[in-house]
Amino acid sequence: MQIQSNGIRMHVELGGDASLPADAPWVSFLPGIANDATFWAAQAAAVEQGYRTLRFDPRGHGDSESTPGDYSFDLTIADLLGLWDALGIASSHVVGLGYGGSMGIGLALQQPQRVRSLLAVACRAVMSEDFRAAWIERSARVRRDGVASFAAPTVARWFSDEFKAANPQVLQRVQAMVERTSTDGYCGYANAFIGLDYVAQLPQLQVPVTFVSGGKDFGGGHPDIMAAMTAAVPGATQVIIPGVGHICNLEAPLAFNEVLRVHLAQHSNG
């Protein structure tokens, strides 16, 4: 499905069992950089008996329209809010990984009345100097050589060594997803990510939050970073999925889906 949102055409995937009542709660899945709607397919399927689900290709990713120039968290949040408005979604549970998790934090700060809960996965609230330098270098490399040239090392960073050795077909599928990202989309999101700074606002979060990380995520949102955010957010909880890397929803889908179901059950009315 294609929907106009915030001035661009965006590709969305909607789910939910046909027997769900009209007022069934929504779960919106937010991808990270170089991820598209397929990234969350297994998670949407795991909760479709009780929830309507929204997945989407971000601006410049997959089948969504790409625009040139610098992006920002405010812009990408407005893209999602435009989808919600077009679909009549007054409020939703939010699940995001990497950039998507950080975006979920910004969304919950801006629109707490529309976020029923947040499951923030393998993310951070502020951009460290070393991580900022890495993203500037990645963006420059993509501008120079294209996204496809950077797809294989990107995917290699995302998973544990054990998983990569045992699941080459998953890596091939994820690499193909990365390669569908436009140069403007990748670099636009990288620019937004470089400016990430919600850390001082974490104590102001008013929605239920669960932080999730992979035990072998040594980069994007490793357990120590997630622990510090958990301590800063009133009432937040942390879950560590042992033995897996950054993309823990794909590396350990059964364990991750159980975390997701428990989180939604704890923070749904009725």
In this predicted structure, what is the pLDDT of residue 154? 86
Q: What predicted TM-score, i.e. pTM, was given to this entire model?
A: 0.96
pLDDT tens-digit profile, the chain (270 residues) = 999 999 999 999 999 998 999 899 999 999 999 999 999 999 999 999 999 999 999 999 999 999 999 999 999 999 999 999 999 999 999 999 999 999 999 999 999 999 999 999 999 999 999 999 999 999 999 999 999 988 898 888 888 889 999 999 999 999 999 999 999 999 999 999 999 999 999 999 999 999 999 999 988 789 999 999 999 999 999 999 999 999 999 999 999 999 999 999 999 864
Report the 10 Å Cβ neighbour count for 119: 27
